[in-house]
Amino acid sequence: MSRLLIGFVALIALFGFGAVNARKGYGPGEQDWGFVDVRKGAHMFYWLYYTTANVSSYTQRPLAIWLQGGPGASSTGYGNFEELGPLQLDGSYREWTWVKDMNVIFIDNPVGSGFSYVDGSAYYTTDNKQIALDLVEFMKEFYVRHPEFKAVPLHIFCESYGGKMAPEFALELYHAIQRREIESNLVSVALGDPWTSPIDSVLSWAPFLLQLGIVDQNGHDKIEAAALKTKNYVDTEKWTMATLQWSATQSVVLRESKGVDFYNVETPTRGDRYLRQLDLMSPEERMYRTLVHFDIDENRDKILSELMRGPVTKALNITTGVKWGAQSSTTFDKQRGDFMKPVVHIVEELLNNTTLKVGVFSGGLDLICATPGAVNWIADMEWNNKKAYLSAPRVGITVDRVLEGYEKTAGNFSMFWVNRSGHMVPADNPQAMSHILRYYTKFG
């Protein structure tokens, strides 16, 4: 066989009708997964779903990264099976999955989340910058394993605490591209119900719940007092104390609201019965449970854990000996001193000094990262197109003659208000999420 023909065959294998590393994993379509050593002793897990769209090459569709929140929640678990992957938690096919339209990478990040693990306590991340640098190292190795994606448009999507991690990750990746340390076609970063300015989220709880009638004026005043204590610690840069007071403020919210769901205020809860269970928890357990767990449905959490530790572990042949999610509470605890720090300045830098599209999408029924808090920190940002944004019209998002939300755009920034959705927009309102996906990726 001539060298020319050999080269042609190789190109077909790489860019043509399949992908070199594609495998059958758990669920439909071709997949790939594995561990990347982002540092000595720090092993990051990813799960790639090649699109199931009718295309001759996977590279005809964009590549989307999904980062979960927490920090410590698992993208390969929660994001995949609860929100946007091809299968739902019960094993049925998800009618609306991102994989139908694009390639999707779920990354268990930071190390210690999901299947990702560390060899010892010294290898956990303790701040946002290290998380971002780990993700850049991950991408360097990902492109070594999947060079066909180097030129494919890359979009970073996230949720919750991902709203802290994703902006800094995008900025560090952008800089690495500019330094020619990595070849990547990074296009956008979109923050879902983001914890980008934690104190703005916390300060929004009392007025939001009062306006909804979930607490009365007395309850509002108690929540506000606890939130202002949190703000005092933030203002004086006592970050660990701010995190502890944030947790205490959550407890006040739960008691005054009789057990509202932080992730969707319209979700039925167990009310005072759950509060009695909350009283039995240690402060550390309460802190972790109220943030990383998406709801108070312990049975659902148990089903997901059994799925990930059983059939998924077996199908993907995970042999590390570290159980899925086993290190996640420690992952969260290691970030305690960084948890309440804002990254609004990072978003400003993305807007002022990069060519990336940047956005925020927020469910109107979310409490933990309530929309009014996001609106406040966005209004306070200093960026090149701020004046144009403030004067820009807010237009409706209409899908199939139904109003699904609103959007506002100026320059390279967009804000999306999502109707009938709590914290998990991809799961709660797929129609609006599809509109947002099309805006950034042209698909969805």
Q: Residue 135 is encoded by which pair of tokens?
A: 């993700």
Half-sphere exposure in the Cβ direction for 339 (13 Å, CA): 26
Q: Cα(107)–Cα(117) distance, rounded to whole angstroms?
A: 12
Tell me which residue of 100, 6, 4 sits closest to 54, measured CA to CA: 100
Residues designated as active site: 160, 366, 423
Do residues 103 and 64 touch, judged by C-beta distance below 8 A?
Answer: yes
Between the alpha carbon of residue 220 and those of residues 208, 223, 227, 425, the distances in Å are 9, 5, 10, 27
Residues 6+ apart with CB under 8 A from 243: 287, 336, 337, 339, 340
The residue assigned the tokens 């494919």 is: 152
The phi and psi torsions of 52 (rounded to 5 degrees) equal -95, 10
Q: Could you tell me whether strands 42-49 and 30-39 are parallel, antiparallel, or unpaired per DSSP bridges?
A: antiparallel
Q: Cα(262)–Cα(251) distance, rounded to whole angstroms?
A: 11
Q: Cα(217)–Cα(224) distance, rounded to whole angstroms?
A: 10
405: left (phi over 0), alpha (psi -120 to 50) or beta: left
* Extended beta strands in 199-319, E state: none
Q: Cα(49)–Cα(46) distance, rounded to whole angstroms?
A: 10
What share of residues in the chain are helix, strand, coil (percent, to 5)? 45, 20, 35
DSSP classification of residue 93:
B
Half-sphere exposure in the Cβ direction for 334 (13 Å, CA): 23
Q: Cα(277)–Cα(272) distance, rounded to whole angstroms?
A: 9
- Specify the 3-state DSSP secondary structure of 107: strand
What sign has the CA pseudo-torsion 111, 113, 119, 124?
A: positive
Cis ω before 283 (30° cut-off from 0): no
The DSSP-derived string for 277-295 is HHHHS-HHHHHHHHHHSSS
* Extended beta strands in 197-328, E state: none
Between the alpha carbon of residue 195 and those of residues 114, 280, 281, 343, the distances in Å are 20, 27, 24, 9
For residue 33, what are the β-bridge partners?
A: 47
